Every structure is written in structure tokens, then in C-alpha cells.
Amino acid sequence: MSEQTPPSDQQDPLAIVQKSNEADLNKKQKLIKEVKSIAIIIIAVLTFRSVFFEPFRIPSGSMIPTLMIGDFILVNKFAYGFKVPFTDVVLGDKSFDPIYLVKRDGPKRGEVVVFKYPKDLSVNYIKRVIGLPGDTLEIRNKVVYINDKPIEPKEFDGKKIMDDMDDKFKGYNLKFYKVKNGEVEHVIQQDNDNYYKVDFDKVSVPQGSYFVMGDNRDFSYDARYWGFVSHEQIKGRAMFVWFSLIFPFGENPAKFRPWRIGTPIN
């Protein structure tokens, strides 16, 4: 009986080594392909966030009752112009102004905008545009005057707002008002016992800049304290609430507000 010949790869060590090298090469090529695919996805997502839409979370109560603590909002990044991606980034203590491919008109009176805080450009703030470039603005007895015309507040019952209010504000003597700023009608709240910022001396808004305030007027650190916001510092216009959740912290329980999902930001 003739003896069977062993397989060729058992006979030739070089063939075994070559086969192993080919397998390693295929694994490396597959890994490189996967890494490239992931990198492309990450770059695409970051580009989309930089140019088109970006989510933000509301950490404070300065925009109550329009925005509640824990609201997650979507911001239109090309509302005021189409930017070259990643040109308005902040790197360490250095902030870069956006480069516009197409520049549109700036924010309209009454729009809610996200912007780089002028005193620390690495921090994002959200407020409502009150004064436009060239306007004069002053506050008398908590009433805002634009170009010497008052934005008349109309008081209404805010019980529904109070029911949904963050607990830290429920102990104040709050009153709620509807105001019309430009074409935008919205709600503000004021603490009747707070007389710290009753008046604000008349100022002129410089060209290319805006005067912004929070809707929670007596609990908002805004342009009344630190000045104007330039067009280059504005990141985009707030559109709507896409999620709302307060995370549990210390003694504060979690609070999920599903009824706020989809709320437009007026």
C-alpha cells in the first residue's frame, strides 16, 4: 500500500509563513478600513454640528418660563449665515471668529440665541435678543424701552407655569407677563420682591452687536451686567426642545418632562 503524501503546506514552512502573513495583512486592512469608516462618520457628525444643527442642554433657570432647567434644545447653526466648518472653535484660551461663506441678516428682535459668553468665550450662554444694532435701550421700573417706546408687559395667571416650575424658584413672589418684542410674543417672569435691577440707564447698541436678556428677568446674568454680544459670538438660533430631564443630584430627584418634547422656542 502506497504512503499518502502530506498536504503541501505541511511540507513547506515558507508556505505556512506566507499564509500567516497574508492573514495578518487582511486583518490590518480590515482594521484600517473600519477605522477610516468610523473617522469619516465622526468627521461628518462634527461637521454637521459645526455648520447645521447642534444640541445643547439648559443648565440654569435664566430662561424660565420659556426654557426649563434640564431642557435639551436644538440650535440652528446656519440661521444667520453659512459658516466654514470648525472656524468658530475655541482652543484653550484662544477663540476664533467664524468665516462665513454666505452671511445672512443677524438675529431679529425677540429671537432666542446661543452665543459665546463675552467674558469667557469657552462658555455658551442662551438669552433672548432685546436690542438690535443702532437701538437705544433703557429699563424703568422693570419695563424695557426700545428707542423710547415701552415693551408693555401684560400680566396673566401663571399657575400652570408654577406647577412645572423648578423647585428652587417656587418660593419666590413671582408674577408672569406676556410681552411682544418685535414680531415675537413670549412670556417673562419677575420676582416682585426683587428691586436690585429695577432700572437700567439708557445705552446705544453698537453696530454689529446685540443686547440680550433672560426671560427670568430677576434671575438672569445677562447684558445688563456684562454688556453686548457681537454677531461673531452668536452660534445660532434656538429652535425647539427635543428632550427634558433633570438628572438626580444630591437630594434632588430626577424629573422627566415628556410633555415638553417638541416645544417650539418662541
| Contact assessment for residue 216 and residue 61, using Cβ atoms and an 8 Å cutoff | yes
Structure confidence by residue, pLDDT tens digits, 1-28:
444 555 544 557 767 667 777 777 788 8
User: Mean pLDDT throughout 36-56?
Assistant: 86
Distances (CA, A) of 212 to 79, 101, 146: 17, 26, 13
147 dihedral zone (left: phi>0; alpha: psi -120 to 50; beta): left
pLDDT of residue 34: 86
Give domain limits for the chain: 8-46, 52-260
Q: What is the mean pLDDT of residues 43-56?
A: 85
Percent of the chain with pLDDT over 70: 93
CA-to-CA dists, residue 121 to 87, 95, 229, 235, angstroms: 14, 6, 11, 11
Mean pLDDT of 53-63: 94
pLDDT, tens digit (0-9, with 9 covering 90-100), for 70-110:
999 999 999 999 899 988 888 877 888 899 888 888 999 99
The dihedral formed by the CA atoms of 64, 69, 74 and 77, expressed in degrees to the nearest 10: 70
Of all residues in the chain, what percent carry a pLDDT higher than 90? 61
Judged against a pLDDT cut of 70, whether residue 36 lies above it is answered with yes
pLDDT for 1 equals 47
B/e letters for 75-94, b = 16+ CB within 10 Å, e = fewer, are: bbbbbbbebebeebeeeeee
Calculate mean pLDDT across residues 62-67. Answer: 96
Beta bridge partners of 174: 191
For residues 112 and 247, give the distance between their C-alpha atoms in angstroms, rounded to a whole number: 24
pLDDT of 189 reads: 96
Residues β-bridged to residue 71: 244
As a whole number, mean pLDDT of residues 170-174 equals: 90
Q: Is the Cβ–Cβ distance between 262 and 241 less than 8 Å?
A: yes
pLDDT of residue 135: 98
202-214: per-residue pLDDT in tens?
999 999 999 999 9
Residue 220 in contact with residue 214, Cβ under 8 Å? yes
pLDDT in tens, 112-128: 999 999 999 999 999 99
Which positions are annotated as active-site residues?
Answer: 62, 127
Please report the pLDDT score of residue 228 as a whole number: 98
Q: Report d(CA 137, CA 147) in Å as an integer.
A: 6
Q: Stretch 165-193: mean pLDDT, rounded?
A: 91
The secondary structure element, H or E, covering residue 245 is strand 234-246
The CB-based long-range contact list for 158-161 (8 Å cut-off, 24+ gap) reads 158/65, 158/187, 158/189, 161/65, 161/187, 161/189
In the chain, the N- to C-terminal Cα span, in Å, equals: 93
Split at pLDDT 50, 70, 90, the class of 195 is: confident
Three-class SS of residue 173? coil
Cβ atoms of 240 and 265 closer than 8 Å: yes
pLDDT single digits (tens) 232-254 = 999 999 999 999 998 887 666 78
pLDDT digits (tens, 9 = 90+) for 137-159: 999 999 999 999 999 999 999 98
The residue ranking higher by pLDDT, 177 or 15, is 177
Grouping H, G, I as helix, E, B as strand and the rest as coil, residue 96 is coil
Q: In the prediction, which pLDDT does 136 show? A: 98
Q: Which three cell numbers stand for residue 70?
A: 434640564
Q: Is the predicted pLDDT of residue 160 greater than 70, yes or no?
A: yes
| CATH code for the domain defined by 52-260 | 2.10.109.10
**Radius of gyration in angstroms for the set of CA atoms belonging to the chain, rounded to a whole number:** 28
Give 163 or 207, the one with higher predicted confidence: 207
Q: For residues 34 and 27, give the distance between their C-alpha atoms in angstroms, rounded to a whole number.
A: 10
